[in-house]
Amino acid sequence: MITKTIEDYLKVIFQVEEAQGTVSTTDLAAELGVAPASVTGMLKKLAAHDLVTYTPYQGVTLTAHGRAIALRVVRYHRLAEQYLAEVLGMPWDEVHAEAEELEHALSEQVVGRIDAALGRPTTDPHGEPIPTEDGRMPDLDDVPLDSLAVGDRAVVARVSSREASFLRYLGSMGIYPGARVQVIAVAPFDGPLTAQVGERQYAIGRTAAAQVFVRAEKT
């Protein structure tokens, strides 16, 4: 039986794997807020059920079965976020926590109806891609904001962080998916970059800018 805890583990493994390629027990412990020893025990259980491939001290990867489950959970979560934002009008900094619960409770039939009612959206309120019903994910062609050079213009594609305070911080500057930005200055020695958003300029720290992904603005 696939429990809520198992779904959470598979989803987080998928997300870390997508972001950085390799997934360690330390990564999972930090993301899930549990002790490394607990992570090790769960990974052994997942491996026994052919959901992950786990090698101590070398990391963990999803099997085809595990990835299919992870993609389903991610799909349910991101569609729930989009529904909460688009239909119920919830702010983008509040939808994640609610969707964390809904992703485990929604049935395939209800998710299908939500998908149809929203017009088959391809992204969630944070710009993250929504997996298709058959488990496909589009290739991402964006880059982090902190990789741009002075003078570069771009459009915000997605934001990787779900921390509510961080999303409110970006929102206070008008940085949402679809917003146009231009890099005005980049301070040396890992200093902040200055970005033009609308008619105003903001200093954005490198750590924050690394979590905002953009695409080159089409001319």
State yes or no: pLDDT of 37 exceeds 80. yes
The yes-or-no verdict on residue 217 having pLDDT over 90 is no
Of all residues in the chain, what percent carry a pLDDT higher than 90?
88
Residue 135 covered by a domain? no
Determine, yes or no, domain membership for 205: yes
Bridge-based pairing of strands 59-62 and 193-197 is unpaired
Domain presence at residue 127 = no
User: Does residue 86 register a pLDDT over 80?
Assistant: yes
Domain boundary residue among 22, 43, 62?
62
Q: Has residue 107 been placed in a domain?
A: no
Domain that holds residue 207: 143-216
| Choice among 12-21, 67-76, 119-128, 172-181 with the minimum mean pLDDT | 12-21
Provide, rounded to the nearest whole percent, the portion of the chain with pLDDT above 70.
99
Band (pLDDT 50/70/90 cuts) for residue 208 is very high
Residue 137 lies in a domain: no
What CATH number is attached to the domain comprising 22?
Answer: 1.10.10.10
**Any idea what the CATH number is for the domain that residue 182 is in?**
2.30.30.90
Q: Is 145 exposed, middle or buried (0-12, 13-18, 19+ CB in 10 A)?
A: buried
Is 138 part of a structural domain of the chain?
no
Predicted confidence (pLDDT) per residue in 107-137, tens digit: 999 999 999 999 999 999 999 999 999 999 9
- Computed over every residue of the chain, the mean pLDDT equals 94
Last residue of a domain, one of 12, 35, 62: 62
Say if 130 falls within a structural domain: no
Q: What is the pLDDT of residue 47?
A: 96
What is the count of structural domains for the chain? 2
Q: Judge whether residue 76 has pLDDT over 80.
A: yes
Distances (CA, A) of 91 to 86, 176, 211: 9, 12, 19
For 20-82, strand residue ranges (E) read 52-55, 59-62
For residue 50, is it within any domain?
yes
Which residue has better confidence, 156 or 27? 156
The pLDDT score that the predictor gives to residue 219 is 59
pLDDT at 56: 86
* Helix H or strand E encompassing 216: strand 212-216
Q: What is the dihedral of CA 49, 52, 53, 57, to 10 degrees?
A: -110
The pLDDT assigned to 187 comes to 96
Among the three residues 62, 79, 102, which one is the final residue of a domain in this structure? 62
- The identity of residue 79, as a single letter, is L
Beta bridge partners of 186: 193
